[in-house]
Chain A
Amino acid sequence: MGERLLLRGNEVIAEAAIRAGCECYFAYPITPQAELLEHMAREMPRLGRTFVQAESEVAAINMVYGAAAAGVRTMTSSSSPGISLKQEGISYIAGANLPAVIVNVVRGGPGLGNIAPSQCDYFQATKGGGHGDYRLIVLGPSTVPEAGELTMLAFRLADQYRIPVMILADGLLGQMMEPVELPDPIDADSLPDKPWALTGAAGRTPNIVHSFDMDPEGLRQLNRDLQAKYGRITDAETRYETVDTDDADLVIAAYGTIARIAKTVVRMARAEGIKVGLFRPITLWPFPTDALRTISGTAKTILTVEMSAGQMWEDVRLAVAERAETPFYGETGGVVPTPRSILSEVKKHVR
């Protein structure tokens, strides 16, 4: 701590993972997260840790599953189409109650899309993506320094709750450079014990890691236990930020880099006498429903702004219901809204 370095978002996530004690990193190249892979390729072997460039994103997530089952901190990173490939593996990790960190540096989609930034994977991250009743903790950093902090948090939450945690970044955050004070490396002795891990059954009964039960009542219990865990996480780990929402007539709901742009819009609007605020979810799952519901009691309009066709917008509407207007402004294709374009949308909705 102390030294400020000018670093790219991708590099900060990689370095933070190392400082969080990531032992094994498995990934496949894809733009726009190549720098994350390259940082790990240089640094992990130097530290005596594992770096494997896997043969595909499918292989990488399954390597993560294996390393997680063996009780080490492990991570993979990719971008949208690669995250699609990982969905089965993510479902297995969640179903088996394993900790892991998955980074999605979102790009334009669907299909091959492009390599420009987007937020079009919100549904995939928060509503499943993979099969079955499971959830990921989804963290949405909005600055390069926050990307580092949330990466450290991701490993801690993953181990604490035995759940895969996704860092939902985007191509803008991955590529931009900012001055960062990197977090201190964790103390290796502070890592939690994992008595369930596969370490060789010496002196104990064997541990079996699986997500399989042919007996419906057995599988129902596995599901009930997962849902109970998700309830505990919702109660304890929901995170969000508000800016100037107390007296706001219109609150922008945005996450990630769009929230950062929206902070500028709040300042610009206030300078023109328009009472605008910002509601920024930091955990996209669990979504800060209660906090947004409260704010929608006083604001007349909650304007969702996303680089998508309207994904987080649905969770906003669920939270707000009839308490306020819930318009949407989005850009797709990798087009990044500017402060001016967002402000002009804001003005359409305030009198």
Chain B
Amino acid sequence: MPRGTVVIDTDRCKGCGLCIVACPQKVLAFSGNLNKSGYNVSHMENPDACVGCGFCALTCPDVAITVYREKPTT
């Protein structure tokens, strides 16, 4: 499985939690950090499990997530 990673724009994140539930690999969780709007923003709790499927980004209502996937090595 290729590895992936996501970058979450914490200024846009509203802590809605949908990305956490959408992730099939249980990568994401609430970070406990509040952004400047007071939202408990999402973060990669288990980054090694990310495969770059993008489900989190598809569901993010604030389009706060950018998704990367490892280039194939072959």
Determine whether A and B are in direct contact in the complex, meaning some CB atoms lie less than 8 angstroms apart: no
